[in-house]
Chains A and B, each alone.
Chain A
Amino acid sequence: MEENRQNPNPEQEQLPKFRGLYRHVKISVKALDRIIVACIAVIVILVALELRDPGFTITFDSRGGSDVAPQNQMYGELLEQPEPPTREGYTFTGWYTDAACYELWDTQNKTIETDMTLYAGWEKLE
């Protein structure tokens, strides 16, 4: 039987006071069980929903050029070579992962790992 006396002295000198995040948590094990079950349920439901339509969507932003249809690919697959878009007064330089057109997407070797948008690169005709 522990005697834990509360110190009524407010001028207790400063000591680091945060001892454990759960120190003052008042929650029953039952409630925690429910949270755990709920979390697992959310995960499972989300995964199940996703699996109805598996794969990643790759959208193409032709940035002023002709439209290119989005593709749906599985993880680790290559992009199907899309039809190059056309734009008046420009030549098409390839698909880029960023809108600023620095990082070229290597359609021959790079595999799909997530949803993404590819941006068309344009060079102005002289």
Chain B
Amino acid sequence: MEQNTLLKMVGITKTFPGVKALDNVNFEVKAGTVHALMGENGAGKSTLMKCLFGIYGKDKGNIYLDGKEIDFKNSKEALDHGVAMVHQELNQALKRSVMDNIWLGRYPKIGGIAVNEKKMYKDTMAVFEELGINVDPHRIMSTMPVSQRQMVEIAKAVSYNSKIIVFDEPTSSLTEEEVEHLFEIINMLRSRGVGIVYISHKMAEIKRISDYITVMRDGKWVATEKAEDLEMNDIIRLMVGRELTNQFPPKTNVPGEVYLKVEGITGMYNQLKDVSFEARRGEIVGLAGLDSSGRTETLESIFGIRTRKEGKIFLDGKPCLNRHANESIKNGFALLTEERRATGIFGVLNIRDNTVISSLKRHKRFGLYLSEKSQREDTQRYIDAMRTKTPSQETKIRSLSGGNQQKVIIGRWLLTEPEVLLLDEPTRGIDVGAKYEIYQLILDLANKGKTVLMVSSEMPELLGVCDRIVVMSGGRVAGEVDARNTTQEEIMTLAAKYV
């Protein structure tokens, strides 16, 4: 089948003060194909798309849609021309109904004044039926889970008769089942001749869904290949620019005696029910499970920032209360939160302030003031130890990449000299190269006899790094498996036990 080129971006260049974000990038999408756009963080995928939608003005280059040159001023104009984007962060009017959101800004009118609710409802249902979405158009957005809101966003794009739809990390908040549904929709759109741009970090998905893969690195176009011609390792090699023989560092840690024991944790305001497990010194225990299976809640309950109704925590056989974060830190716990931007970093503060905030006591002199010198030394020590890439200690943390931000936060916690590390999605939103370094860090900690609890949604990561995996399901512990001789299938079966 001869596929004609729908979208063509030629020689796109974009410079920000001091950085060449895009350097002569070419990219094209054929009708009826899924074109995956891949690259590490900061490779320029988002910038390229922002240039397409006119959020950034491009410095050089041309964009052609259906052979005609275009230059959109904003995403509304793009939408009117049939170029839509399903954002990773949904921008929706949450207090309005589903159909209001879909027809926002172009309500069908009766006599040019009154909104034609009936037509709106009918049209919405038509689109939903087409896509196999089962949502009441009158439902208020905020009452729906994120996955359904995303479906609405897709429906909106379809309702504009879009020729090009860009999916930016669409599966990051979806369950397996919802991902399947999304792929069905994407397949259907493809068969209708829509050109799809698919941005994602998840290799397995990309291999499954896409026809073509374009890899970018450091703002440059690296390669465009047919998906079947590329193996997972090839993609990683192209993205990183070097051979990555192993995704995970060799496991060297030796678990010792039982250190942390959690007994019957039941949540006050969440779904946790009778969660019990134990972890040894020098052991890395993974917490697996679907979204909202209570993995995050378990860590946060142990750390004392969620209220427990029942349950005890024993450290080395001695009970400890962990009523609030401060007490937990004193007891030697550290929690790396899941949402780095929301509950991890202090965006406007510099790296030094971000590093020392949990260990200010170390720097106190005469019980009065904080020594600038010792703060500087501690920060430098951890910048060096983690190989954090930063111009200086005074750099604001939000200007660092995700991986480097994560390193700073890990440094913050290591300064509190913890014995138990609770890591919630430690590698989320971090590019492949940096992930390896984080894994190495986790293993080093275990080698030093620390106990590590790690939550992750990426199964291979859990299998590659952990010694033991506790699988959670519906707020309960569904089972425990040895990471060395288990399979993804076994874990998935356990994860579905109480759903």
A and B touch in the complex (CB under 8 A): yes
A: residues with CB less than 8 A from B are 1-9, 11, 13
Contact at A3–B88, with CB atoms within 8 Å? yes
For residue B261, CB closer than 8 A to chain A, the reply is no
Instruction: Give chain B interface residues in 57-113, CB to chain A under 8 Å.
Output: 88-90
A residues in contact with B172, CB < 8 Å: 3, 5
Contact at A11–B270, with CB atoms within 8 Å? yes
Contact at B89–A4, with CB atoms within 8 Å? yes
Contact at B169–A6, with CB atoms within 8 Å? no
Which residue of A6, A8, A11 contacts B269 across the interface (Cβ within 8 Å)?
A11
A-B contact count (CB 8 A): 44
Contact at A6–B173, with CB atoms within 8 Å? yes
Contact at A5–B339, with CB atoms within 8 Å? yes
Query: Please, what's the 1-or-0 string for B306-323, where 1 marks a CB less than 8 Å from any CB in chain A?
Result: 110000000000000000
7 A-B pairs besides A2-B341, A8-B292 with CB distance below 8 A are A4-B341, A5-B339, A7-B339, A8-B146, A13-B269, A13-B306, A13-B307
A residues in contact with B45, CB < 8 Å: 1
- DSSP class of A's interface residues: helix, strand, loop or mixed? loop
Report the bound CA distance from A8 to B313 in whole Å. Answer: 28
Which residue of A2, A6, A9 contacts B429 across the interface (Cβ within 8 Å)?
A2
A residues in contact with B88, CB < 8 Å: 1, 3-4
Which residue of A1, A7, A13 contacts B169 across the interface (Cβ within 8 Å)?
A1
Contact at A8–B429, with CB atoms within 8 Å? no
A residues in contact with B145, CB < 8 Å: 8
Chain A residue nearest to B89 (CB atoms) is A4
Contact at B169–A3, with CB atoms within 8 Å? yes
Contact at B339–A9, with CB atoms within 8 Å? no
Chain A residue nearest to B168 (CB atoms) is A1
Report the bound CA distance from A1 to B341 in whole Å. Answer: 12
Contacts A11-B270, A13-B307 given; does A3 touch B428 at CB 8 Å: yes
- What are 23 A-B contacts with C-beta separation under 8 Å? A1-B41, A1-B45, A1-B88, A1-B169, A1-B402, A1-B429, A2-B341, A3-B172, A3-B428, A3-B429, A4-B339, A4-B342, A5-B173, A5-B338, A6-B146, A7-B339, A8-B146, A8-B292, A9-B270, A13-B269, A13-B305, A13-B306, A13-B307
B residues in contact with A5, CB < 8 Å: 146, 172-173, 338-339
Contacts A6-B90, A11-B269 given; does A1 touch B339 at CB 8 Å: no
Contact at B201–A1, with CB atoms within 8 Å? yes
Chain B residue nearest to A14 (CB atoms) is B269
Residue with the highest number of chain B CB atoms closer than 10 Å, among A1, A3, A4, A5? A1
The 7 tightest CB contacts between A and B, nearest first, are: A3-B429, A3-B172, A5-B173, A8-B145, A11-B269, A1-B41, A2-B429
For residue B46, CB closer than 8 A to chain A, the reply is yes
Contact at A2–B146, with CB atoms within 8 Å? no
Report the bound CA distance from A7 to B41 in whole Å. Answer: 23
Report the bound CA distance from A7 to B149 in whole Å. Answer: 12
Report the bound CA distance from A11 to B297 in whole Å. Answer: 12
Report the bound CA distance from A9 to B296 in whole Å. Answer: 12
Report the bound CA distance from A4 to B342 in whole Å. Answer: 8
Report the bound CA distance from A7 to B94 in whole Å. Answer: 13
Report the bound CA distance from A1 to B405 in whole Å. Answer: 12
